[in-house]
């Protein structure tokens, strides 16, 4: 598998099981010096497990790891680091209660190198004395990366590095990664976004169901080959699912949700829109433009400071998420940990809101509950082999559980906040299919997504939020990626995106987010 | 309660540094203000309160303050130690037995030995937690019975003695009649152990461990080692508290006082998060003074002793709730 220069990192026949669940059967990965190497695979294929093994967070049951030709066993992240292996994980690994400087001291990161890389990555004026807890997620990811780069590891592993980043930061990150090519070191890059793979990677190793199924040279047109390998027999692409729904609802029929000039603190200024019955309405925004606040208001987690919210034509004021659920508004979060009881079973997780709602007192009708749950599990094709504890499921299956719980209860309005973040292409298309089916059955869906390409695939219409206001409304036909991006940066149609201006807007929004939430109590 | 991170390098301008320090220690400063008010109040209800009162306060607060520091360290590290009271009893009894009718110089050896014993007891607590993976609260509760049993084996009834110099270290005033020696001893011990610890990598690791175990592990912190070290230092401070008991009473008492639970109350009042990772030791020490002073005030006011205990509980909840309320409001503003 390897060519002339001996591999820098060579992992062969790695296996790992968690009880009955096999995470890795036989995974191999060989990376040459000077290369940016993609590690690909559908969700649950074992990418994250492999990275955790290589960085010593998890011990493999079997397998051999060599670095520069010498065999190594890594027992802990600090040992991996001494061997030149450093990883940036999916979730930030900064200590929330320590400030950035203390976090750097903890990992013995050279400060000058860190500053240099933070600068390169688009965080020039980072306040090192602010606690990690107070920074927005995107900044934390970039800090994580800058910290790893400053250590100058032989092998740098980036696990879904770009998943939570706004477009401008993603670009900076990819550019910096691209510049690492050709040296003595190498980067292992994990992402679901094929465009990013094509942009920066030299070769790609593809995992399927815990085993390496191929190594592909990344060239023009290698995308299809990669997808084919990832999916195995079931080759399917994201088919456009928009059912040309007639959304021209007459004005006298009340909308399912109507927001009139909703505002919340400094983040949401004037959000007005209508969500009609039976439609999927996309919400597009750069990071921190007020979309979080909007969804919090609709889900009843936060009270608006101004404006009006009408559900089915009646004004409502939610004091608690239970009020929103009673009004038929349910929330699907990007962060699965926010929604699930990780240590409980799939069944309990699905049944939770349903039983809580219908049977406040008295006994749970177990037989009826089981019927409903079985139907939901089947509808969503949840792989529930590891169903005793939800935390053992893959990310995609966890997300399906969060949706299944509302489907089981009979949903009317679904508020989906980036439900496909970090989820593989097959699960993604299943989720989109499901949203279309729910809409066809008369439900309404409000869908915030960070993947602009997919707006056209699943939405009937899309609204764009910028600086806390709804600045544009597009029909699906017009909502292609350039149009959405232009609207998201609040530019006139046809204008170029001035990178500096856009970066400033994002920065202003993120720094505001930082000052808005000083270490909230747990 | 924002007192969280250790900022070592001073910010650019000195004014910023002062502002940052005040913000970091906001809760402790508020507690000191509260303590000052309480002293004024004490003076009002008991005009004769003066030098003697301050001396008594310092001596009675010393063991409890050291116990609170002990508790702070393991709670910041994400654990909790319910065996502090029995470790105090055990170390105090061993010290009293060894020092009884022995030459003064021998006392120095005993004191050093007791400090080592404290480190050892704490390391055993931590080691059992790490090795068995039984929750901290269960292990230390069980260990509290073990250490209490040993204390009774060492000394069946109150007795033993204390070297005279040890008593002299904490009894009486220092330079000025208003400055109790006990307060100096407290400040010096904390200064010698806590401040270097907090600035060291170990201290950082303890905060990291309590704040987010997984992130700490990924940052290369030896999770098990750090936990054992945190408990060992807790044991060290428990031993210091035990020595304080022996020194202030002149004997060893094999039954544990109310120190364990009061130390938990003091750290909560002192701004240490029971979830770990936040707080320092200044707040808990001030909280101990407040709790002790409240108790004497109740006596001055002729409140029924039983009612006084009820009142202490209510005040504890009230103050902590007030603090959370402030923080919550600031978070929303």
Please report, for residues A323, A357, A358, the alpha-carbon distance to residue A362 in angstroms, rounded to integers and kept in the order given: 21, 12, 10
With beta carbons under 8 A apart, name residues in chain A contacting B331: 517-518, 520-521
Q: Inter-axis angle of helices B305-332 and B259-269, to 10 degrees?
A: 30
Q: Testing the interface with A: which of B19, B220, B279, B324 to mutate, by most A Cβ within 10 A?
A: B220
pLDDT mean over B24-44: 88
For residue B40, what pLDDT is reported? 92
Q: Please tell me the least confidently modeled range out of B185-189, B260-264, B295-299.
A: B295-299
Q: Which of A55, A99, A522 is facing B5, going by the closest CB pair?
A: A99
pLDDT band at residue B2 under the 50/70/90 scheme: very low
For residue A521, what pLDDT is reported? 39
Top pLDDT among A222 and A495 is at: A222
For residue A234, what pLDDT is reported? 44
Dump pLDDT digits (tens) for B94-113: 999 999 888 888 989 999 99
Q: Please indicate whether, in this complex, the C-beta atoms of A94 and B215 are within 8 angstroms of each other.
A: yes
Distance of CA B68 to the CA centre of its chain: 2
- Kindly report the nearest CA distance between residue A86 and chain B, in angstroms: 10
What's the rounded Cα separation, in Å, for the pair A322 and A333? 16
**Does residue A139 surpass a pLDDT of 60?**
yes
What's the rounded Cα separation, in Å, for the pair A271 and A276? 16
Strand B173-174 versus strand A211-217 pairing type:
unpaired
Dump pLDDT digits (tens) for A371-385: 777 877 777 777 666
The token pair at A30 is 């060989």
**Does residue B125 surpass a pLDDT of 90?**
yes
With beta carbons under 8 A apart, name residues in chain A contacting B11: 129
pLDDT mean over A235-254: 50
**Does residue A517 surpass a pLDDT of 60?**
no
Residues within 8 A of B (CB atoms), A 103-132 only: 103, 105-108, 129, 131
Residues 6+ apart with CB under 8 A from B228: B123, B126, B127, B130
With beta carbons under 8 A apart, name residues in chain A contacting B220: 76-78, 81, 106-108
The token pair at B243 is 């020595």
With beta carbons under 8 A apart, name residues in chain A contacting B330: 518
Residue B312 contacts A, CB cutoff 8 Å: no
DSSP code string of B124-169: HHHHHHHHH---HHHHHHHHHHHHHHHHHHH-SSSB----HHHHHH
**Does residue B12 surpass a pLDDT of 60?**
no
Each residue of A167-192: b (16+ CB within 10 Å) or e? bbbbbbbbebbeebeeeebbbbbbbb
Q: Of A178, A138, A137, A158, which is closest to residue A85 (Cα–Cα)?
A: A158
pLDDT mean over A49-75: 87
For residue B170, what pLDDT is reported? 87
**Does residue B6 surpass a pLDDT of 60?**
no
Q: Please indicate whether, in this complex, the C-beta atoms of B201 and A94 are within 8 angstroms of each other.
A: no
pLDDT mean over A33-40: 90
Top pLDDT among A164 and B138 is at: B138
Q: Of B243, B192, B188, B244, which is closest to residue B59 (Cα–Cα)?
A: B244
pLDDT band at residue A47 under the 50/70/90 scheme: confident
Top pLDDT among A386 and A509 is at: A386
HEC sequence for A221-282: CHHHHHHHHHHCCCCCCCCCCCCCCCCCCCCCCCCCEEEEEEEECCCEEEEEEEECCCCEEE
**Does residue B3 surpass a pLDDT of 70?**
no
With beta carbons under 8 A apart, name residues in chain A contacting B20: 129
Dump pLDDT digits (tens) for A204-215: 999 888 889 888
Q: What are phi and psi of A241, to 5 degrees?
A: -105, -5
Neighbours of B97 (CB within 10 A): 18
Q: Which of A106, A131, A519 is facing B219, going by the closest CB pair?
A: A106
pLDDT mean over A203-228: 84
pLDDT mean across residues, chain A: 79
**Does residue B127 surpass a pLDDT of 90?**
yes
What's the rounded Cα separation, in Å, for the pair A54 and A57? 8
Residue A32 contacts B, CB cutoff 8 Å: no
Residue pair B91/B117 in contact (Cβ under 8 Å)? The answer is: yes
For residue B110, what pLDDT is reported? 93
Kindly compute the dihedral angle of the four CA atoms of residues A503, A509, A512, A517, in this order, to the nearest 10 degrees: -120
Q: Please tell me the least confidently modeled range out of A316-325, A508-517, B276-285.
A: A508-517
For residue A371, what pLDDT is reported? 77
Q: Please tell me the least confidently modeled range out of A231-240, A405-414, B217-226.
A: A231-240
For residue A505, what pLDDT is reported? 54
| pTM of model > 0.80 | no
Q: Which of B5, B215, B221 is facing A102, going by the closest CB pair?
A: B5
For residue A5, what pLDDT is reported? 63
**Does residue A255 surpass a pLDDT of 50?**
yes
Q: Please indicate whether, in this complex, the C-beta atoms of A107 and B219 are within 8 angstroms of each other.
A: yes
Q: Of A298, A236, A150, which is closest to residue A425 (Cα–Cα)?
A: A236
pLDDT mean over A26-38: 92
What's the rounded Cα separation, in Å, for the pair A342 and A393? 10
pLDDT band at residue A362 under the 50/70/90 scheme: low
Residue A337 contacts B, CB cutoff 8 Å: no
Q: Please indicate whether, in this complex, the C-beta atoms of B11 and A101 are within 8 angstroms of each other.
A: no
- Kindly report the nearest CA distance between residue A132 and chain B, in angstroms: 10
Residues within 8 A of B (CB atoms), A 400-429 only: none
| Nearest residue on chain B to A147, alpha-carbon basis | B219
What's the rounded Cα separation, in Å, for the pair A294 and A260? 12
Residues within 8 A of B (CB atoms), A 435-494 only: none
- Kindly report the nearest CA distance between residue A443 and chain B, in angstroms: 34
Q: Please tell me the least confidently modeled range out of A67-71, A279-283, B69-73.
A: A67-71
What's the rounded Cα separation, in Å, for the pair B273 and B167? 35
Q: Please tell me the least confidently modeled range out of A514-518, B71-75, B141-145.
A: A514-518
**Does residue A494 surpass a pLDDT of 70?**
no
What's the rounded Cα separation, in Å, for the pair B281 and B272? 8
Q: Which of B5, B273, B327 is facing A131, going by the closest CB pair?
A: B5
Residue B296 contacts A, CB cutoff 8 Å: no
pLDDT mean across residues, chain B: 87
Q: Please tell me the least confidently modeled range out of A12-16, A280-284, A396-400.
A: A396-400
Dump pLDDT digits (tens) for B38-93: 999 999 988 888 888 888 899 989 999 999 999 999 999 999 999 999 999 999 99
Dump pLDDT digits (tens) for B181-213: 999 999 999 999 888 888 888 998 999 999 888
Residues 6+ apart with CB under 8 A from B122: B81, B87, B231, B232, B233, B234, B235, B236, B238
């Amino acid at each position: 598998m390897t060519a002339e220069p001996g591999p820098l990192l060579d992992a062969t026949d790695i296996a790992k099981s968690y009880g009955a669940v096999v995470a890795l059967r036989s995974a191999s990965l060989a990376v040459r010096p000077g290369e940016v190497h993609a590690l690909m695979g559908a969700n649950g294929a074992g990418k994250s497990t492999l990275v955790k093994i290589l960085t010593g967070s998890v011990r493999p049951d079997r397998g051999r790891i060599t670095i520069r030709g010498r065999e190594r066993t890594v027992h802990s992240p600090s040992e991996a680091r001494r061997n030149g292996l450093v990883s940036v994980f999916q979730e930030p690994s900064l200590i929330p209660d320590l400030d950035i400087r203390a976090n750097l001291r903890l990992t013995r990161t050279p400060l000058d190198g860190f500053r240099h890389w933070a600068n390169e990555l688009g965080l020039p004026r980072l306040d090192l004395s602010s606690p990690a807890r107070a920074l927005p997620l995107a900044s934390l990811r970039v800090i994580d990366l800058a910290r790893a780069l400053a250590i100058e590891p032989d092998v740098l592993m980036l696990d879904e590095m770009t998943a939570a980043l706004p477009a401008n930061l993603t670009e900076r990150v990819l550019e910096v990664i691209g510049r690492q090519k050709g040296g003595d070191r190498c980067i292992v890059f994990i992402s679901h976004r094929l465009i990013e793979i094509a942009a920066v990677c030299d070769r790609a190793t593809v995992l399927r169901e815990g085993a390496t199924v191929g190594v592909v040279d990344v060239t023009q047109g290698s995308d299809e080959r990669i997808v084919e390998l990832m999916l195995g027999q079931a080759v399917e692409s994201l088919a456009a699912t928009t059912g040309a729904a007639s959304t021209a609802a007459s004005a006298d029929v009340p909308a399912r949700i109507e927001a009139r000039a909703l505002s919340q603190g400094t983040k949401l200024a004037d959000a007005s829109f209508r969500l009609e019955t039976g439609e999927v309405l996309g919400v597009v925004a750069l990071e921190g433009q007020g979309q979080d606040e909007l969804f919090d208001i609709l889900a009843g987690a936060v009270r608006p400071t101004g404006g009006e919210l009408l559900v089915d034509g009646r004004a409502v004021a939610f004091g608690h998420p239970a009020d929103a659920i009673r009004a038929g508004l349910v929330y699907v979060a990007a962060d699965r940990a926010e929604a699930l009881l990780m240590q409980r079973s799939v069944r309990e997780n699905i049944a939770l809101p349903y039983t809580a709602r219908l049977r406040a007192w008295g006994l749970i009708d177990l037989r009826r509950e089981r019927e409903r749950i079985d139907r939901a599990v089947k509808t969503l094709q949840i792989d529930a082999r590891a169903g005793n504890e939800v935390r053992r499921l893959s990310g995609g299956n966890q997300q399906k559980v969060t949706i299944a719980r509302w489907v089981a209860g009979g949903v009317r309005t679904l508020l989906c906040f980036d439900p496909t973040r970090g989820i593989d292409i097959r699960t993604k298309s299943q989720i989109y299919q499901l949203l279309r089916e729910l809409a066809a059955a008369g439900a309404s869906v409000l869908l915030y997504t960070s993947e602009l390409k997919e707006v056209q695939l699943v939405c009937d219409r899309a609204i764009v939020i910028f600086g806390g206001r709804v600045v544009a409304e597009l029909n699906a036909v017009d909502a292609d990626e350039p149009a959405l991006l232009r609207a998201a940066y609040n530019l006139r149609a046809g204008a170029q995106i001035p990178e500096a201006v856009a970066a400033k807007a994002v920065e202003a929004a993120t720094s505001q987010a930082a000052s808005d939430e000083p270490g909230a109590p747990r | 309660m924002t007192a969280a991170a250790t900022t070592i390098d001073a910010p650019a301008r000195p004014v910023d540094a002062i502002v940052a320090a005040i913000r970091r220690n906001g809760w402790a400063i508020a507690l000191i203000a509260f303590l000052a008010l309480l002293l004024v109040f004490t003076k009002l209800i008991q005009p004769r309160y003066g030098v003697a009162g301050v001396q008594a306060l310092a001596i009675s607060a010393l063991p409890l303050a050291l116990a609170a520091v002990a508790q702070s360290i393991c709670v910041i590290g994400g654990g909790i130690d319910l065996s502090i009271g029995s470790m105090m009893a055990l170390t105090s009894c061993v010290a009293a037995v060894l020092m009884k009718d022995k030459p003064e110089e021998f006392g120095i050896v005993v004191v050093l030995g007791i400090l080592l014993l404290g480190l050892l007891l704490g390391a055993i607590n931590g080691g059992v937690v790490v090795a068995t993976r039984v929750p901290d609260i269960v292990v230390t509760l069980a260990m509290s019975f073990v250490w209490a049993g040993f204390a009774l084996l060492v000394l069946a009834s109150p007795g033993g003695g204390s070297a005279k110099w040890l008593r002299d270290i904490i009894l009486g005033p220092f330079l000025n009649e208003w400055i109790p020696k006990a307060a100096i001893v407290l400040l010096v011990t904390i200064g010698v152990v806590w401040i270097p610890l907090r600035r060291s990598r170990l201290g950082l690791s303890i905060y990291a461990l309590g704040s987010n175990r997984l992130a700490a592990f990924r940052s290369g912190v030896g999770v098990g080692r750090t936990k054992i070290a945190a408990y060992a230092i807790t044991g060290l401070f428990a031993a210091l508290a035990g020595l304080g008991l022996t020194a202030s009473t002149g004997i060893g008492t094999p039954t544990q006082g109310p120190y364990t639970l009061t130390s938990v109350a003091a750290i909560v009042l002192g701004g240490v998060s029971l979830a770990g990772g936040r707080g320092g030791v200044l707040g808990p020490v001030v909280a101990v003074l407040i709790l002790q002073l409240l108790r004497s005030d109740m006596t001055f006011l002729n409140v029924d002793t039983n009612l006084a205990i009820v009142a202490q509980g209510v005040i504890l909840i009230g103050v902590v709730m007030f603090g959370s309320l402030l923080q919550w409001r600031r978070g929303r503003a």
